[in-house]
Copies of this chain bind each other. A is one copy, B any other.
Amino acid sequence: MTVRIGVIGTGMIGQQHIHRLDTLVPGAAVTAVTDHDGEVAARVADGLDHDVTVHPDGFALIKDPEVDAVVVTSWGPTHAEFVLAAIGEGKHVFCEKPLATTQEDTLRIIEAEVAHGSRLVQVGFMRRYDAAYRAMKQTIADGAIGAPLVFYSGHRNPDVPAAYTREMAIVDTAVHDFDVARWLLDAEITAISVIAPRSNRHGLGRGEAEDLQDPLLMTIETSTGAVICCETSVNIRYGYDIRGEVVGEDGTVSLADRGLVQVRTAGTAAVGVPGDFASRFHAAFDVELTEWVAEVAAGSPLSGPSSWDGYASAAVCDAGVEALQQGRRVSVDLVEQPALYR
């Protein structure tokens, strides 16, 4: 049985997901698209080798009886209303992060999903589908390093666009570290402090754009007592380098270097570091959608990131921004977790 999918938002990530669903993901077919710019949606639809309905808006797409499940890849502030509409129709919805741009909206989604009685929402935290992070989690589960005590998470990008603001280092960049840390450590985040070291010169004097406080270093407490040390370095020219080490009682596990070949030239032995987000995580996106479609097709419970995960990471982001702006430790106080998410 093929899962017929409607995609809301046909920008870059939307087009990539459409391509994945159509060509790589078994059991999926894109049957409907829409975009706030109808011409873009029409052009994307024309580019496909099969018929696709172009809807005037996301709400119409969600109601389309030829759409079994919805993918939301529109502009962030529109996510919540489309997710809520999908829940209203009782349809599965895969929503790129963020689930919503306010904690309040993530809580409204949780409320609606709980009222529905089963999980319908998955949030696009794709790191959970990355083979290296999975090997890291498995190593912990195997007991190889004892209980996890500290997690270092380094999020390094070569550069960021002019529109990138200092808060985005938390809500756009570190949010991935928050989610993967919660998942790796099987813990909720309870407090966060942010410190801004001396600024990287590459983040200063950016024309019209504001000077960045980059890097940031965050000390993050969790419900198990494990502590997360998260670095964002978003202008560190050398590469798109996602670092991670979990320090346990008996040993540690780290993300390994990823070069496929080692080159010995000019006095060094070197392996490559990824240059951008896509080359680092494209396989994780493939796995993410493949597993989601398989679970939707089978009607089995969703195992991916939930509305709760969307809410919890939003709460950490809010606390992180406050900690950054006010220069102090900020607690993260979550509502009680509904049974649906346990």
Q: Which residues of A contact B (CB under 8 A)?
A: 1, 22-24, 26-27, 49, 131-132, 135-136, 139, 144-147, 149-150, 152, 154, 193, 195, 197-202, 215, 217, 219, 221, 224-227, 229, 231, 233, 235-239, 241, 247-257, 259-273, 275
Expressed in whole angstroms, the Cα–Cα distance for A225 and B198 within the complex equals 4
Least CB distance from A128 to B in Å reads: 14
Residue of B nearest to A250 (CB): B237
Residues of B within 8 A of A267 (CB): 238-239, 272-273, 275
Residues of B within 8 A of A24 (CB): 24, 26
A contact face: mostly helix, strand, loop, or mixed = mixed
A247 touches B231 (CB 8 A): yes
Which 10 residue pairs are nearest across A and B when measured between Cβ atoms?
A198-B225, A251-B265, A270-B270, A23-B26, A197-B227, A132-B260, A268-B270, A238-B251, A135-B260, A200-B249
Least CB distance from A181 to B in Å reads: 13
Partner among B249, B262, B273, B275 whose Cβ is within 8 Å of the Cβ of A201? B249
Q: Which of A49, A239, A261 has the most CB of B within 10 A?
A: A261
Partner among B144, B221, B237 whose Cβ is within 8 Å of the Cβ of A263? B144
B250 touches A197 (CB 8 A): no
Least CB distance from A257 to B in Å reads: 5
Least CB distance from A159 to B in Å reads: 11
Residues of B within 8 A of A193 (CB): 193, 219
Task: Decide yes or no: A265 and B144 within 8 Å by CB, A215-B150, A250-B238 being known contacts.
Answer: yes
Least CB distance from A202 to B in Å reads: 6
B261 touches A233 (CB 8 A): no
A272 touches B268 (CB 8 A): yes
Expressed in whole angstroms, the Cα–Cα distance for A224 and B268 within the complex equals 28
B251 touches A217 (CB 8 A): no
Query: Known contacts A22-B26, A132-B261, A255-B260; can you find 6 more A-B pairs with CB under 8 A?
Result: A135-B272, A149-B197, A149-B200, A236-B251, A238-B267, A259-B269
Selected A-B contacts with CB under 8 Å, 22 pairs? A22-B26, A146-B201, A149-B198, A150-B215, A152-B152, A195-B221, A195-B227, A197-B227, A198-B227, A202-B250, A215-B247, A237-B251, A238-B251, A238-B267, A239-B264, A252-B264, A253-B261, A256-B257, A256-B259, A259-B269, A267-B273, A270-B271
Expressed in whole angstroms, the Cα–Cα distance for A139 and B201 within the complex equals 19
Least CB distance from A247 to B in Å reads: 6
Expressed in whole angstroms, the Cα–Cα distance for A275 and B135 within the complex equals 15
Partner among B136, B227, B261, B266 whose Cβ is within 8 Å of the Cβ of A217? B227
